[in-house]
Copies of this chain bind each other. A is one copy, B any other.
Amino acid sequence: MNKYGLHGKLQATAGNGDKLAAILLQAAQLVSTAKGCLLYLVSQDQETPDGVWVTEVWDSKEDHDNSLQVAGVKELIGQAMPLLAGRPEKGQVLEVLGGAGLPD
């Protein structure tokens, strides 16, 4: 199927992981109906306190890039930024070959 995947960690400052995760879960809701969004998961890192992973699958990189224009997303990014401990690292870019569990 060859979809566009991203897996990246956002590290919140001490004690702010839950707040960051809550913002990202709001972002998930906003973009879930955007064109080409197949998956947008928010996870707590089991080994790093206040580390939050976002795992995304999109039909294409273009669909992902367009999602940054979805109404409300920039505001959520603005809320998240002050919670971060430094700049986000570049996430992993994955070419999703297939598997099970994505919407048809």
- Assess A44 versus B94: contact at CB under 8 Å? Given A7-B55, A55-B7: yes
Contacts of A100 in B (CB 8 A): 28-29, 31-32, 37, 39-41
* Cβ-closest chain B residue relative to A24: B99
Q: How many residues belonging to A are interface residues under a CB distance threshold of 8 Å?
A: 34
Known: A46-B94, A94-B46, A94-B53. A41 touches B7 (CB 8 A): no
Pair B7/A44 contact, Cβ less than 8 Å: no
Known A7-B55, A55-B55; judge A99-B45 contact (CB<8 A).
Answer: no
Q: How far is the CB of A57 from chain B (nearest CB, A)?
A: 7
Q: Enumerate chain A interface residues (CB-CB to B < 8 A).
A: 5, 7, 21, 25, 28-29, 31-32, 37-47, 53, 55, 57, 92-103
